[in-house]
């Protein structure tokens, strides 16, 4: 399916950290929203959408040269669509209109006063608190625009312009973040003003994607889907099953880096959903490859390549397989595009495509969905609640939780300790309220005394984080009593561990996984 045929809102990504949040908020309000990196934007794409949103950006509007400004001007004023500029988008619009920009920062909760009642502020009082995050401020507009609100620091917080029958709004604050208490209401008002239909429904989307796949693929051919037991691959497999029926080959590869008891759990979950996977025990193959490798990125690469080799072997044995189904989700699709200023922090091996020699047609039924939407689709397709509540688990598994040289000993320690961490959280009713919980081990040692023996053992780190999308995260304030139980259970069942620590750093500056 071509995304622009879904219509709705087009969010132009100018590099702001909340761009995806804008799109998600619109979808929560029932309007379909797409994100497109600014560099990939063409005029022909614009015509398919009902309205345009310009995101925030780390760039400064005062540094934009005439050529860049004229490109933006053509985009905004030539689009013939209603426009909402947010933060940098707001400043950009103001600059295009000839407004004055000054260096003045506003961060966090800020009061704004509404000067002029306008439908964009329906449901807002005359004074409200919003969330700001900017270094530059619009101090005045040219005669073309009308100031609707001012911040308590004198910055233009909102304005409106009518351009050839189209309404253009700018807001300096972030209506998409929850800290802007009435932010959702403002986005809802924008949808009404712009006449954007609120008919985005996940069940319609799933029906539509299944019908389109049936029309587009050769259903007499077979499709291979790699299942890991996680939500994305399970939901992809369930959708593909409706298209290919018994011509779907689901493959579950055990790379030896799974959690304790996971193989049995995944097999039984898939069977309960009517999927009988081909189980490939490739433990030895992967572990031999990883032994001694210290660099996590190198491990990710080796694991990714080995997976593809295994799929290739299966496909070579069965020439009827012509399709490869992947559980790629929307942020992966956007992040693999070219967004100026974005930097690659870790290579998530399911992102970035397949090597050129892998000659399968790739099907990605989830490519336009966010994680929470995939979960919702899973619910619609009858996934058991326990599977829906399962913590995310990285494709390269426990390999990214061993720091330093990879050894089987460290892998076993991480596997057993992670089980203790997860089980203890379940026992105390905390498992469902956290995003991920696991153990990490590196090369650092601590002298221990066990009985009369003095010996060096590993230092093990427990990491428990809360997050809504994995992009940012905070460490969970676990009660000391629970940490104490975890620590004692770990040291008494794992003789090679002599010290347990707790990771108390949020993301950023840390990442969730240690490497």
CB under 8 A, 24+ apart: contacts of 201-208 = 201/30, 202/369, 202/373, 202/376, 202/377, 202/380, 203/380, 205/368, 205/369, 205/377, 206/239, 206/377, 206/380, 206/381, 208/1
Which residue, 21 or 168, is less far from ligand XMP as judged by CB?
21
Give DSSP secondary structure letters for 205-230. HHHHHHHHHHHHS-TTSEEEEE--SS
Q: Which residues touch 326 (CB under 8 Å, ≥6 apart)?
A: 226, 236, 350, 362, 363, 364
The yes or no reply on residue 390 touching ligand XMP (CB under 6 A) is: no
Interface mask toward ligand XMP for 222-261; x: CB under 6 A: ----------------------------------------
Residue 296 annotated to the active site = no
**Which of 422, 420, 415 lies closest to 440, judged by CA?**
415
The footprint of ligand XMP on residues 336-355 (CB under 6 A) is: 345-346, 348-350
The yes or no reply on residue 470 touching ligand XMP (CB under 6 A) is: yes
**Which of 160, 161, 139, 168 lies closest to 151, judged by CA?**
139
The yes or no reply on residue 448 touching ligand XMP (CB under 6 A) is: no
3-state secondary structure of 262: helix
Do the strands 453-466 and 497-502 form a parallel or antiparallel pair, or are they unpaired?
parallel
* Peptide bond connecting 141 to the previous residue in cis, omega within 30 degrees of 0: no
Q: Considering only 101-109, 266-274, 495-503, 504-512, which stretch makes contact with ligand XMP by CB under 6 A?
A: 504-512
For 417, the token pair is 């300790």
The yes or no reply on residue 175 touching ligand XMP (CB under 6 A) is: no
Provide, rounded to whole angstroms, the least separation between the CB of residue 334 and ligand XMP: 15
Provide, rounded to whole angstroms, the least separation between the CB of residue 425 and ligand XMP: 16
Provide, rounded to whole angstroms, the least separation between the CB of residue 106 and ligand XMP: 28
> Which of 97, 396, 419, 422: binder of ligand XMP (CB under 6 A)?
396
Compute and round to an integer the Cα radius of gyration of the chain. 26
For 217, the token pair is 């693929």
**Which of 37, 55, 376 lies closest to 200, judged by CA?**
376
The yes or no reply on residue 395 touching ligand XMP (CB under 6 A) is: yes
Give DSSP secondary structure letters for 55-78. ---SS-GGG--HHHHHHHHHHHHH
Q: Considering only 11-19, 65-73, 285-293, 395-403, which stretch makes contact with ligand XMP by CB under 6 A?
A: 395-403
Q: Which of 106, 128, 176, 188 is catalytic?
A: 176
Cβ neighbours of 249 (radius 10 Å)? 22
Which residue, 172 or 350, is less far from ligand XMP as judged by CB?
350
Task: Check if the beta carbon of residue 136 is closer than 8 Å to that of residue 103.
Answer: yes
Which residue, 355 or 382, is less far from ligand XMP as judged by CB?
355
Which residue, 106 or 513, is less far from ligand XMP as judged by CB?
513
Q: Which residues touch 250 (CB under 8 Å, ≥6 apart)?
A: 224, 225, 226, 227, 237, 270, 275, 276, 277, 278
What's phi and psi for 124, nearest 5 deg? -100, 145
The yes or no reply on residue 371 touching ligand XMP (CB under 6 A) is: no
The yes or no reply on residue 302 touching ligand XMP (CB under 6 A) is: no
Q: Which of 87, 155, 296, 515 is catalytic?
A: 87
Provide, rounded to whole angstroms, the least separation between the CB of residue 262 and ligand XMP: 15
Rounded distance between C-alpha atoms, residue 480 and residue 502, angstroms: 11
Provide, rounded to whole angstroms, the least separation between the CB of residue 232 and ligand XMP: 9
Provide, rounded to whole angstroms, the least separation between the CB of residue 299 and ligand XMP: 9
Which residue, 407 or 511, is less far from ligand XMP as judged by CB?
511
Which residue, 19 or 436, is less far from ligand XMP as judged by CB?
436
Q: Which residues touch 355 (CB under 8 Å, ≥6 apart)?
A: 305, 308
Which residue, 87 or 512, is less far from ligand XMP as judged by CB?
512
Which residue, 300 or 416, is less far from ligand XMP as judged by CB?
300
Q: Which residues touch 406 (CB under 8 Å, ≥6 apart)?
A: 290, 291, 292, 293, 294, 299, 399
Residue 348 annotated to the active site = no
Which residue, 209 or 434, is less far from ligand XMP as judged by CB?
434
Provide, rounded to whole angstroms, the least separation between the CB of residue 513 and ligand XMP: 3
Task: Check if the beta carbon of residue 203 is closer than 8 Å to that of residue 380.
Answer: yes
Provide, rounded to whole angstroms, the least separation between the CB of residue 37 and ligand XMP: 20
Rounded distance between C-alpha atoms, residue 229 and residue 232, angstroms: 8
The yes or no reply on residue 392 touching ligand XMP (CB under 6 A) is: yes
Q: Which of 174, 255, 348, 349 is catalytic?
A: 174
Provide, rounded to whole angstroms, the least separation between the CB of residue 470 and ligand XMP: 4
Provide, rounded to whole angstroms, the least separation between the CB of residue 296 and ligand XMP: 8
Which residue, 501 or 506, is less far from ligand XMP as judged by CB?
506
By CB under 6 A, how many residues form the interface with ligand XMP? 17
Residue 137 annotated to the active site = no
> Which of 300, 367, 371, 401: binder of ligand XMP (CB under 6 A)?
300
The yes or no reply on residue 400 touching ligand XMP (CB under 6 A) is: yes
The yes or no reply on residue 512 touching ligand XMP (CB under 6 A) is: yes
Q: Which residues touch 170 (CB under 8 Å, ≥6 apart)?
A: 84, 85, 86, 89, 90, 91, 93, 94, 138, 145, 156, 158, 159, 160
Active site residues: 87, 174, 176
Interface residues with ligand XMP (CB under 6 A) are: 300, 345-346, 348-350, 392, 394-396, 400, 436, 470, 507, 511-513
């Amino acid at each position: 399916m071509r995304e622009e045929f879904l219509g709705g809102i087009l969010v132009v990504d100018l590099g702001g950290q909340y761009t995806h949040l804008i799109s998600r908020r619109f979808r929560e309000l029932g309007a379909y929203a797409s994100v497109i990196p600014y560099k990939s934007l063409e005029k022909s794409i614009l015509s398919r959408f009902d309205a345009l949103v310009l995101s925030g950006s780390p760039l400064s509007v005062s540094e934009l040269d005439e050529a860049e400004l004229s490109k933006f001007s053509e985009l905004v004023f030539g689009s013939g669509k209603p426009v909402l500029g947010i933060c940098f988008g707001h400043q950009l619009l103001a600059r295009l209109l000839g407004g004055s920009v000054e260096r003045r920062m506003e961060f966090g909760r800020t009061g704004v006063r509404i000067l002029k009642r306008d439908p964009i502020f329906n449901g807002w009082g005359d004074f409200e608190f919003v969330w700001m995050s900017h270094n530059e401020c619009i101090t005045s507009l040219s005669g073309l625009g009308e100031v609707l609100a001012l911040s308590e620091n004198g910055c233009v917080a909102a304005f409106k312009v009518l351009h050839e029958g189209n309404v253009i709004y700018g807001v300096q604050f972030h209506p998409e973040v929850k800290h802007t208490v009435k932010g959702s209401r403002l986005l809802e008002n924008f949808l009404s003003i712009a006449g954007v239909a609120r008919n985005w429904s996940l069940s319609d989307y799933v029906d539509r994607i299944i019908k389109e796949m049936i029309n587009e693929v050769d259903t007499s051919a077979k499709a291979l889907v790699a299942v890991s037991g996680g939500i994305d691959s399970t939901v992809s497999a369930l959708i593909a099953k409706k298209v290919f029926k018994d011509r779907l080959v689901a493959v579950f590869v055990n790379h030896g880096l799974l959690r304790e008891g996971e193989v049995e759990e995944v097999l039984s979950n898939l069977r309960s959903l009517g999927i009988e996977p081909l189980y490939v025990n490739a433990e030895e193959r992967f572990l031999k490859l990883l032994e001694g490798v210290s660099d996590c990125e190198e491990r990710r690469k080796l694991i990714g390549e080995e997976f593809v080799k295994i799929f290739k072997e299966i496909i070579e044995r069965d020439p009827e397989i012509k399709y490869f189904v992947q559980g790629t989700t929307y942020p992966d699709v956007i992040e693999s595009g070219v967004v100026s200023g974005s930097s690659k922090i870790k290579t998530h091996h399911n992102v970035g495509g397949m090597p050129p020699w892998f000659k399968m047609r790739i099907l990605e039924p989830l490519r336009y969905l966010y994680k929470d939407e995939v979960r919702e689709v899973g619910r619609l397709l009858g996934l058991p609640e326990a599977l829906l509540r399962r913590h995310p688990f990285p494709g390269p598994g426990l390999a990214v939780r061993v720091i330093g040289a990879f050894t089987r000993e460290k892998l076993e320690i991480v596997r057993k300790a992670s089980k203790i961490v997860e089980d203890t959280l379940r026992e105390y009713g905390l498992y469902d309220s956290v995003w991920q919980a696991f153990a990490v081990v590196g090369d650092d040692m601590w002298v221990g005394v066990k009985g009369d023996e003095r010996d060096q053992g590993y230092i093990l780190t427990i990491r428990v984080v809360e997050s809504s999308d994995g992009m940012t995260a905070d460490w969970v304030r676990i009660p000391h009593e629970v940490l104490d139980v975890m620590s004692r259970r770990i040291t008494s069942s794992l003789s090679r561990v002599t010290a347990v620590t707790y990771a108390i750093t949020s993301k950023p500056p840390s990442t969730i996984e240690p490497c």
